[in-house]
Amino acid sequence: MIDTTILDPVETAKNGMRLLRDAALAQTDYMVLPDAKLPTGVTAAQVTAYRQYLRDLPNKAVQNDFMTFKGCLSLTDWIAAQNTTA
Protein backbone atom coordinates (compact mmCIF):
# COMPACT_ATOMS: atom_id res chain seq x y z
CA MET A 1 0.00 0.00 0.00
CA ILE A 2 1.26 3.49 -0.85
CA ASP A 3 1.52 6.00 1.98
CA THR A 4 -0.33 9.11 0.85
CA THR A 5 0.33 11.11 4.00
CA ILE A 6 1.14 14.72 3.22
CA LEU A 7 4.02 15.95 5.32
CA ASP A 8 3.77 19.39 6.85
CA PRO A 9 6.82 21.30 5.59
CA VAL A 10 7.09 23.35 8.79
CA GLU A 11 7.06 20.22 10.98
CA THR A 12 9.62 18.60 8.69
CA ALA A 13 11.84 21.69 9.00
CA LYS A 14 11.41 21.70 12.79
CA ASN A 15 12.51 18.08 12.93
CA GLY A 16 15.60 18.94 10.88
CA MET A 17 16.34 21.82 13.23
CA ARG A 18 16.04 19.47 16.20
CA LEU A 19 18.52 17.02 14.64
CA LEU A 20 21.08 19.79 14.12
CA ARG A 21 20.44 21.10 17.62
CA ASP A 22 20.91 17.68 19.15
CA ALA A 23 24.22 17.25 17.34
CA ALA A 24 25.45 20.65 18.57
CA LEU A 25 24.43 19.78 22.13
CA ALA A 26 26.29 16.48 21.89
CA GLN A 27 29.45 18.34 20.84
CA THR A 28 29.39 20.34 24.07
CA ASP A 29 28.24 17.61 26.48
CA TYR A 30 31.75 17.10 27.85
CA MET A 31 32.03 20.80 28.68
CA VAL A 32 29.50 20.57 31.50
CA LEU A 33 31.44 17.90 33.38
CA PRO A 34 33.04 19.17 36.60
CA ASP A 35 36.60 18.42 35.47
CA ALA A 36 36.18 19.53 31.85
CA LYS A 37 38.90 21.61 30.23
CA LEU A 38 37.13 24.35 28.33
CA PRO A 39 38.52 25.84 25.12
CA THR A 40 40.76 28.87 25.66
CA GLY A 41 38.72 32.00 26.27
CA VAL A 42 35.46 30.13 26.93
CA THR A 43 33.78 30.33 30.34
CA ALA A 44 31.43 27.85 31.98
CA ALA A 45 28.73 30.55 31.96
CA GLN A 46 29.07 30.92 28.18
CA VAL A 47 28.76 27.16 27.70
CA THR A 48 25.65 27.10 29.89
CA ALA A 49 24.05 30.00 27.98
CA TYR A 50 24.95 28.44 24.61
CA ARG A 51 23.41 25.13 25.60
CA GLN A 52 20.25 26.97 26.70
CA TYR A 53 20.15 28.70 23.29
CA LEU A 54 20.31 25.26 21.69
CA ARG A 55 17.66 23.74 23.96
CA ASP A 56 15.33 26.63 23.12
CA LEU A 57 15.41 25.61 19.44
CA PRO A 58 13.02 25.21 17.74
CA ASN A 59 10.49 26.47 20.29
CA LYS A 60 11.68 30.08 20.19
CA ALA A 61 12.11 30.22 16.41
CA VAL A 62 9.43 31.76 14.23
CA GLN A 63 7.96 29.94 11.25
CA ASN A 64 10.17 31.68 8.69
CA ASP A 65 13.26 30.58 10.64
CA PHE A 66 12.34 26.94 10.07
CA MET A 67 12.36 27.32 6.33
CA THR A 68 15.62 29.31 6.13
CA PHE A 69 17.54 27.61 8.95
CA LYS A 70 21.07 26.75 7.90
CA GLY A 71 22.26 25.18 11.14
CA CYS A 72 23.06 25.93 14.74
CA LEU A 73 25.83 28.35 15.46
CA SER A 74 28.97 26.73 16.80
CA LEU A 75 29.95 27.68 20.34
CA THR A 76 32.63 30.09 19.13
CA ASP A 77 30.33 31.66 16.52
CA TRP A 78 27.57 32.01 19.13
CA ILE A 79 29.96 33.73 21.55
CA ALA A 80 31.13 36.09 18.80
CA ALA A 81 27.51 36.92 17.92
CA GLN A 82 26.76 37.68 21.58
CA ASN A 83 29.72 40.04 21.70
CA THR A 84 28.47 41.99 18.66
CA THR A 85 24.93 42.40 20.02
CA ALA A 86 25.95 43.40 23.54
Domain ranges of the chain: 9-78
Residue 26 — pLDDT band, cuts 50, 70, 90?
very high
Global pTM?
A: 0.78
Q: What is the mean pLDDT of the chain?
A: 83
Average pLDDT for residues 67-86, to the nearest whole number? 77
Residue of 2 and 10 predicted with greater confidence:
10
Q: Which of 42-46, 49-53, 75-79, 81-85 has the lowest mean pLDDT?
A: 81-85
Cis ω on the peptide bond leading into residue 9 (within 30° of 0)? no
**pLDDT at 9 (0 to 100):** 79
Q: Which helix (H) or strand (E) holds 4?
A: none
